[in-house]
Every structure is written in structure tokens, then in C-alpha cells.
Amino acid sequence: MKSTVLNLLSAKLAFVSLLLVGLFLLAPSHVQAQSTNDLFSAPNVSYVSSATAIARVEAKCLELKDNYVTLNAQSQAYNDNVVKYSFYTAILDKLNEGKTTKESLEAGLKVFGTDAASSLSKSNMQAYRLEAINLLRQ
């Protein structure tokens, strides 16, 4: 009885080992991860001047600041507004430092990689990115 159990266990172990070796050999040699780099980079398009960008981003910041009055502080919409406001203020800060519009946009996009933006969905991040690109595009 004992030898039967040992033979069965060794057969199962051999089968599992062969199965794992087979899976390893059949698996692709490399797997490409989905890239999120495009989320943090600004496309090569024609952007407005820094002065125009400052005016547009300041107006957007005022709009977002006004949203706080109407949103419930406990809601996801409020949290999304906080991240969006941080995004636009980061852009504005870089514009005020003398950076180009594209450099400022890329600096703002880095907000999406912070802990503060962890509750924001990827689709919202992409939507905010596209909105900012359209705002700052010529």
C-alpha cells in the first residue's frame, strides 16, 4: 500500500514537472508590457505661445476652483477635481518658470504618476491629457 502511494506521488510529481517544463519551452521568449509612457508625454504638435498658454491654463484653474463649491468633498468627482486641479497648476507653475508649453504639459502629466492620482481611472487620465493637449494646441 505504501509503495503504491509513493509510486502515485512520484508519477504526479513527474507529470507536473514535465508540464511546467513544456509550458516554459512553449512560452514566448519575451512579453512586451503595455506601455503607459504615452500618458506621461506630450505629442509633437504645434503648441500656443507660453503667454497664451498661461492665460488659458489660469482660466482652467479658475474653472476647476469654482467646481469645489458644487462638489461633495466625500465624492469621487471631488477627488477627480483635486487631481485635475493639481495637473493644471503643475502646468501653470512650469509656464511661470519660463518653460515651453510642451515642457510644462509634460511636467503636469507627471501628476498622474503620483499617489494623489492613484484613485483616478486611466480613462480619466487619458481624457484629462487629451483635454490639456487640445487646450494648448495651436
Q: Reduced to 3 states, what is the DSSP secondary structure of residue 47?
A: strand
Residue 26 placed within a domain: no
pTM of this structure: 0.72
Residue 6 placed within a domain: no
Q: How many domains does the chain have?
A: 1
Give tens-digit pLDDT for 27-70. 665 544 444 457 889 999 999 999 999 999 999 999 999 999 99
Q: Over the chain, what is the mean pLDDT?
A: 86
Give tens-digit pLDDT for 13-37. 777 676 666 666 666 655 444 444 5
Residue 7 placed within a domain: no
Q: State which amino acid sits at residue 98.
A: G
Average pLDDT over residues 130-137: 96
pLDDT at position 92: 97
Distance CA 129, CA 134 (A): 9
pLDDT at position 33: 46
State the number of CA atoms in the 13 A half-sphere of 95 facing the CB. Answer: 23
Please check the confidence at residue 127 and state whether its pLDDT lies above 70. yes
Please check the confidence at residue 90 and state whether its pLDDT lies above 80. yes
Residue 41 placed within a domain: yes
Residue 12 placed within a domain: no
Grid cell for residue 113: 504618476
Residue 23 placed within a domain: no
Residue 9 placed within a domain: no
Residue 3 placed within a domain: no
Average pLDDT over residues 78-104: 96
Range of the domain at 131: 37-136
Percent of the chain with pLDDT over 90: 64
